[in-house]
Amino acid sequence: MKVSLVQMNAIDNKQVNLKVVNKLIRKIVAVESPRLVVLPECFDFHGGTTETATAEAECFPDGQSYNFLSSIAKELGIYLHAGSIIEKFDGKIYNSTVVFDPLGSEVARYRKIHLFDIETPDGVIYKESDTYDRGDQIITYEIDGVRFGCTICYDIRFPELYAELVKKGAEVIVIPAAFTKQTGEAHWELLCRARAIETQTYVLACGTTGTHVEDGEDRYTYGNSMIVDPWGKILIRADHEVCTVTSTIDLNYVSEVREKLPAINHHVL
């Protein structure tokens, strides 16, 4: 299966972001004809303030971003794993992934479980819980008989979520992200490869890159989107530029790795 990741510099302007996404998706589909295209976390609105982010929230299946993604998936005949969109549901706000099939229909929706409430070593404070509520459902979906698992960014630090996705049959796990530059330089590759190795799945890790403004301050995301195989090998990797990357994943290799080194069958706790 051929898969493509869209790496972009998302900012606090939905119109600009959707214009960029439209261009990048169309370009990669025309050149590579992937079965699945993955977008990063917060691809349509990144930064701003709690108030401006909340104002951009969409009540699915309505909303500009939702309808745009549904229509482009249908027009181009692709599966589209739409990073994350700010979702308003039942009076709450979620950081939500929506997945569309080639008919433009929603086939999965995942609300981010682990919220990024930290202070980085250089003193920058991130508090996602000021904006978002926490999801509580473990979500998978299927493409051509292959089970995909959903996670978002900070989830990558919690291997128990990944173990649960494998129990649900995941052979590929998708990680849209907006990793900070500082934590990305220290941990991004290590975490992507570790999650792939321990779950014996392909990991599709798609990040934002560059500068955005949040609460009046410049913030920097790491980029370096990558596809990692079940043995922990990086098949393809972006740098820090706005770009797309594509690779073909051999789904038989998941079974091969799991047969030769059946670690996922050896859990005793």
Supply the Cα-derived Rg of the chain in whole angstroms. Answer: 17
Q: Taking residues 140-157, what's their average pLDDT? A: 98
∠ CA 109-205-224, nearest 5°, is 140
Q: What pLDDT, on the 0 to 100 scale, is given for residue 124?
A: 86
CATH no. for 2-265: 3.60.110.10
Q: What are the domain boundaries of the chain?
A: 2-265
Residues 6+ apart with CB under 8 A from 167: none
Q: Which tens digit of pLDDT belongs to each residue from 9-25? A: 999 999 999 999 999 99
Annotated catalytic residues are 41, 112, 153
Instruction: Please answer whether residues 97 and 39 qualify as being in contact, where contact means their C-beta atoms are separated by less than 8 angstroms.
Output: no
The helix or strand, by DSSP H or E, that contains position 203, with its residue range, turns out to be: strand 202-207
Tell how far CA 152 is from the center of its chain.
5
* pLDDT band per the 50, 70, 90 thresholds, residue 121: confident
Q: Which tens digit of pLDDT belongs to each residue from 187-222? A: 999 999 999 999 999 999 999 999 999 999 999 999
Please report which residue ranges of the chain form alpha helices under DSSP H. Answer: 14-32, 50-55, 64-76, 159-167, 181-183, 189-199, 252-260
- Give this prediction's pTM: 0.97
Instruction: Please answer whether residues 131 and 84 qualify as being in contact, where contact means their C-beta atoms are separated by less than 8 angstroms.
Output: no
